[in-house]
Amino acid sequence: MLTKEIAEYLGGAVSGLTVGTNLWAMPVPETALSDIQVSVVEYAGRAPLRAMGPSLGDPVAEIARFQVAVIGQLSQYLETRQLIEEIRQALDQLSETTLSGTRYLLVRELQPPFYQPPGEIGDPNAQHHFSVNFEALRERN
């Protein structure tokens, strides 16, 4: 599963991130305790690249899209911004890598990290939200 593969990769590539503690392959659960939280979630991707092949055969590559979001407390703007930058640099242009048995041809960012003010997204806890969107060309697993 893409989110799990990416989260596990980030857990090894970015200092201080641990899957299940402050790094999640899903929206951050309400039970999370750490001040800064990172989530990896999928959203609508694109049609796969295909070659000729049998019915139900695997594509040349799937084109999935996912978002990594960093959520930090009100006093942690700079730390939150720094962490999203480290995540961006760990993922953008990641090529020819196998993550948990799935071959990734390329991961590329779709735009630089962006800030979503708490009021804009209706966060009652007034936390800082930074996100960055990526596109992954990967083989079907």
Does 137 help bind another protein (rule: CB under 8 A)? Answer: yes
Q: Of 13, 14, 41, 105, which one interacts with another protein (CB under 8 A)?
A: 105
Helix (H) or strand (E) holding 95: strand 94-99
Per CB under 8 A, the list member of 26, 49, 74, 126 interacting with another protein is 49
Is 50 one of the binding residues for another protein (CB under 8 A)? yes
Burial 129-139 (b: 16+ CB within 10 A, else e): bbbbbbebbbb
Q: Does 53 bind another protein (CB under 8 A)?
A: yes
Handedness of CA 79, 82, 84, 87 (dihedral sign): negative
C-beta of 24 vs 66, nearer to another protein: 66
Does 47 participate in binding another protein (rule CB under 8 A)?
Answer: no
